[in-house]
Amino acid sequence: MTTIAGVDTPTDEVSQKRGRLIYRQKLATRLTHWIWAISLFFLLLSGLQIFMARPDLYIGKQSGFGFDNAILRIDARKVGNEIQGVTTIFGTSVDTTGWLGLVPEDGSMTAKTFPGWLTVPSYRDLATGRVVHFFFAWVLVTTLTAWLIASIVNGHIRELIPTVSDLKGLPRDIVDHLRLRFHHDGRYNGLQKLSYVGVLFVALPVMILTGLTMSPGMDALFPVLLDIFGGRQTARTIHFAVMLALVLFFVVHILMVVLAGPLNELRAIVTGWYRTSSAKRS
């Protein structure tokens, strides 16, 4: 690849077909990306361990046997002559034996909210789950702060903020994604920008704030948190719901990486270098 008058000119036909390599992901972005991935993995599994201590979700400031405000409950019940795992959502119960409530463990069925492979540690241990969860929660907060500072300094944050043009092009971006048409031009499209902004500036801050709201010590220091999120029980429910949204984002994110070209995408997030496509948008 040679440059003439500021224009990149391919030196041969092969390079023209393959496109050119550009430095797309800065070091700070790559490092924080992998730290986030590790942190969120352990936060998810340790969070499910903590959830097993009280496998119910409520809307409101209070909960317990005297209140009928549960929106989710996972437990094991005797139905007829057998025990079943039952998950109840907004009053509708579903048999989830083998997945939730009653799961296989050590060769037999055990009354347990989640199977061992979904929790850290794999056995019931609330204390260890809390230690792991709080450790990676602070790793996440620290990393998010470091990423924000670095992205402001190196200009990466400007690449993520949607423009008017991005918003106008959303219908086309959605259609392109549904048709599995990906444009390897080294830029974030409007759909990507909105997704990343939603995760980095909405979902993760809400996760952090609702986590703090569940702490009596933090509530004593910042009682306004209880007012913002409607009490600790509602904050716990929001915390759980955002977790599910992040899991969905992760699944879609991995799917897009695979469909868009995993080797190229992985090279970008590992080395920073991304190969663009010579094809132009139509």
Tokens of 237: 């429910």
Report how far residue 272's alpha carbon sits from residue 136's, in angstroms, rounded to the nearest whole number: 25
Tokens of 38: 């590790």
Tokens of 119: 């929790």
Share of residues in the chain with pLDDT > 90 (%): 80
To the question of pTM greater than 0.85 for the whole model, the response is yes
Rg value, the chain, Cα: 23
Do residues 84 and 70 lie in contact, with contact meaning Cβ atoms separated by under 8 Å? Answer: no
Domain range summary for the chain, segments of one domain joined by +: 55-118
Confidence at 114, pLDDT banded by 50, 70, 90 = very high
Instruction: Tell me the pLDDT tens digit for each residue of 139-185.
Output: 999 999 999 999 999 999 999 999 999 999 999 999 998 888 888 88
Give the Cα-Cα-Cα angle 129, 133, 139 (nearest 5 degrees): 150
Tokens of 112: 């347990």
